[in-house]
Amino acid sequence: MIHSRNRRLRVNESIRSLVRENVLTTDDFVMPIFVMEGENKQEAIPSMPGIFRRSIDLTVKECKELFSLGVKAVNLYMKVSEHLKDNTGKEAWNKDGLMQRTIKAIKDAVPGMIIMPDVALDPYSIYGHDGIIENGKVINDATNDALARMSVSHAEAGADLVAPSDMMDGRVQVIREALEQSGFTDVGIVSYAAKYASSFYGPFRSALDSAPKDDMEIPKDKKTYQMDFHNTREALNEVFKDIDEGADVIMIKPGLPYLDIVSKVREAIDLPIAVYNVSGEYAMVKAAAQNGWLDNDKTIIESLTCFKRAGANMIFTYFAKEAAVLLNK
């Protein structure tokens, strides 16, 4: 005779929900948003069905809709005009730049929206790298100084947290000190502590034209600063260093192929963990769903719940709006 039957707690949805260990809500989501110059402009991103580049006015409209659905945080990326790109990234801290104007416009229209602008030089670089190039290499410390100026500029515009995604050594400390010295003690840092050099970023780079340029004199990829995807312990080393330097939230990127890293970091730290459900992951689900190979809605909710199960507190995902609609139903 069987005395212990696990199926007793799976008999119906009511009892399954009663003993459920992880629950996905709209409070978990951060929506990445692409912004471009112009007015009343919207451009589809072919490799990311349902995702668009928008002008500031339409971005504000989108943020209002997101907030009404319960998505209370956005992560901002700029499509920078070619004539503004150089090897210093100085447009990144232009007080009248596209990012700064976007932050202000969203804050004015949706004061409760949490704004987390991306901090990296690749959209502003003529080389498509996250840092300044000298003698054919991405140099670390001068890039950190640029990232600090960029972060302070974002804070001045009204950002709630800054999100350095560059993977330069020591940049969290440099940014934290710059924010403190400028009086922005309440502006947090979402540190991309364990960001891997991944093949899953392709659609994102096409959306911003931010891929490294094919130039014999510069690195053809970002492997000299982003992490080797073969490594696990290295991620913990990066995480601990960023915590010591003043990070408020720890990011792991990409998401689904790196759930083991999320879980290991969760076991090791008490800080909030963010995970990035990146463009390639989004594109794969959409492509399979459009071909009838996967159920779009069920796959979205299952995938996002996996991040919660692994230990994430917040999920950066292009599915945020779509998932919010599904959850609100």
Which residues participate in catalysis according to the annotation?
A: 195, 253
Could you tell me which residues are beta bridge partners of residue 164?
119
Cis omega (within 30 of 0) for bond into 254: yes
Structure tokens at 322: 């779509």
Sequence-distant (6+) residues with CB within 8 A of 24 are: 301, 304, 305, 308, 323, 327
Cβ-based neighbour number of residue 137 at 10 Å: 14
Question: Is the separation of the CB atoms in 103 and 157 below 8 Å?
Answer: yes
Does the annotation place 234 within a ligand binding site?
no
| Residues sharing a CB contact under 8 Å with residue 172, sequence separation 6 or more, in sequence order | 164, 189, 191, 241, 242, 245, 246, 247
Partners of 53 in the beta sheet?
34, 43
Question: Distance between CA atoms of 233 and 32, rounded to whole angstroms?
Answer: 28
| DSSP codes of every residue in 71-84 | --EEEEEE---GGG
Amino acid at residue number 294: L
Of 243, 87, 76, 81, the residue nearest 173 (C-alpha):
243
Lookup: tokens for 247: 């990070």
Helix (H, G, I), strand (E, B) or coil at 224: coil
Q: Residues forming the annotated binding site? A: 238
Residues that constitute the known binding site for Mg(2+): 238
